[in-house]
Structure 1
Amino acid sequence: MAIHVCMGATLMCSFGLAPSSLVVLPKNTTMTSKVPAANIMDNIPLVNIMPFGMCTSLANPTVAAATTAALGVLTPMPCVPVIPAPWVPGSATVMLGKMPALTNNCKLMCAYGGVIP
């Protein structure tokens, strides 16, 4: 059984070096344990998804440039998530703000190849 996700949930990107917290704006007005509940559209970088410290993905142009400048030594650069799509798959039975609720089984993909479970 999936567990519902709410504001403050700890997130980690597969290419990030530090954890981050999910930020859910109180626009849906659905509360879980007195904090806003999340849906699959809570995926906006720097609003809902905060940076994960440093990025190590060579698909990230800043990491690739820094690594090239360091003669091939992987050089992490500051993370700025690029999220092109909502969380998937979302809850099949619970809707929040006319969108599927976010559960602990959902994943978010970064354009630089990172996976945020």
Structure 2
Amino acid sequence: MSLQTCVGATMQCSFGVAPSTLAVLPTNKVLVGGQPAATIMDHAPFVNIPPFGMCNSVSNPTVAAATAAALGVLTPMPCVPVTPAPWLTGAPTVLIGNTPALNNTSKLMCTWGGVIQTLSPGQATTQVP
């Protein structure tokens, strides 16, 4: 079962060293668990996707340069996410403003080769007996 993702969702990049928290602007005026709901278009670096601490990807030019300067020893550098494309695939049957909603199984690709995924969707469902 997938859950709708909203503000406060915890994310992790496969090349990042720390988790980060999704930020969603309330422009769509749709709430999930009292928080603004996310769509696949919430992929803007720093606006929606904060850094993940340090980056370990040698595809990242700053990591490659620092690693070369350290004679080939992998040298992580500060994460600067580059996410030009929307999240994949979202929830095609749940639309928010004609855009698929973001769910906890969606993935976001970083230009430096990282795969960003949701660890916690930012909401929880409670079952009442």
Q: Under a length normalisation based on structure 2, what TM-score does the superposition of the two structures give?
A: 0.89
CA distance in 2: counterparts of 1:24 and 1:54, whole angstroms: 23
2:80 and 2:103 map into 1 onto residues whose CA distance is: 24
Provide the residue aligned with 1:82 in structure 2: 82
Hey, what does 2:28 align to over in structure 1? Answer: 28
How far off is 1:38 after superposition? 0.3
Is 1:45–2:45 an aligned residue pair? yes
Equivalents in 2 of 1:70, 1:39: separation in Å?
41
User: What is the alpha-carbon distance in structure 2 between the residues aligned to residue 92 and residue 41 of structure 1?
Assistant: 13
> What whole-Å deviation, never above 9, does each CA across 1:43-87 have from its counterpart, x for those lacking one?
000000000000000000000000000011100000000012000
Partners in 2 of 1:96 and 1:76 — Cα distance? Answer: 38
SS state at 2:68 partner: helix
Gaps of 5+ in 1: none
Query: CA–CA distance in 2 between the matches of 1:51 and 1:96?
Result: 26
Match of 1:16 in 2: 16
Question: Following TM superposition, where does structure 1 have runs of at least 4 consecutive aligned residues deviating by more than 4 angstroms?
Answer: none
2:99 maps to what in 1?
A: 99
Ranges in structure 2 where 5+ consecutive residues have no aligned partner:
118-129
Q: What is the aligned partner in structure 2 of residue 109 from structure 1?
A: 109
Root-mean-square deviation over aligned CA pairs: 0.6
Alignment size in residue pairs? 117
Give the AA of the match of 1:47.
V
Q: In structure 2, how many angstroms separate the alpha carbons of the residues matched to 1:17 and 1:33?
A: 29
Residue identity matched to 1:103? N
Instruction: Return the structure number with greater strand share.
Output: 2
Partner of 2:66: 66
Aligned-pair CA distance for 1:90? 1.0
